[in-house]
């Protein structure tokens, strides 16, 4: 398979490119994961996010926004002390605050996916 860019330099990059990148998504948990990967990525490379994805899953309860919304200072400390984790307290706090906001959106719209897809009347825009 040909690649549209030359950034696929690892197996993780290739898997992400071939199975996730640019695909329409309607799953709230997965949408939350991608948004939080963007939070963690700020100032860093996307390849690093893919490399650390398993650590993020471990630290953030597989991106379970219901659990993350209830995180406390103890959880922030646990995450900051996890080996291989990006040690940015501000980013970790942002993930927690975003989980709380995510729940408010879900409460109002029924799902985060519905909220997002309403902007395009449920259609993919190319």
CATH of the domain at 74: 1.10.340.30
Question: What's the pTM?
Answer: 0.86
User: Are 65 and 99 within 8 A, CB to CB?
Assistant: yes
**Quick one: which H or E segment has residue 23?**
none
Catalytic residues: 16, 38, 46
Compute the average pLDDT of residues 105-116: 96
Q: Where are the alpha helices (DSSP H) in the chain?
A: 11-19, 28-41, 46-51, 53-59, 65-68, 73-80, 89-109, 112-117
Burial of 35 per CB tally in 10 Å (0-12, 13-18, 19+): middle
User: Does 3 fall in a domain?
Assistant: no
pLDDT at residue 4, as a whole number: 60
* Mean pLDDT of the 57-67 span: 98
Average pLDDT, the chain: 90
* Count of domains observed in the chain: 1
* Residue scoring higher pLDDT (62 or 11): 62
Instruction: Please give the residue range of the domain that contains residue 90.
Output: 26-120
CA distance 89 to 60: 14
How does pLDDT run across 9-54, given as a tens digit for each residue?
777 767 676 766 777 889 999 999 999 999 999 999 888 998 999 9
């Amino acid at each position: 398979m040909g690649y549209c860019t030359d950034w696929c330099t690892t197996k993780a990059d290739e898997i992400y490119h071939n199975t996730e990148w640019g695909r329409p998504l309607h799953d709230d948990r997965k949408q939350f994961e991608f948004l939080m990967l963007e939070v963690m990525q700020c100032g860093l490379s996307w390849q690093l996010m893919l490399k650390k994805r398993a650590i993020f899953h471990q630290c953030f309860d597989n991106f379970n926004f219901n659990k993350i919304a209830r995180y406390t200072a103890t959880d922030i400390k646990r995450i900051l002390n996890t080996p291989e984790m990006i040690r940015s307290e501000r980013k970790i706090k942002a993930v927690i605050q975003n989980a709380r906001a995510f729940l408010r959106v879900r409460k109002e719209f029924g799902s985060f996916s519905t909220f997002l897809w309403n902007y395009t009347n449920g259609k993919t825009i190319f």
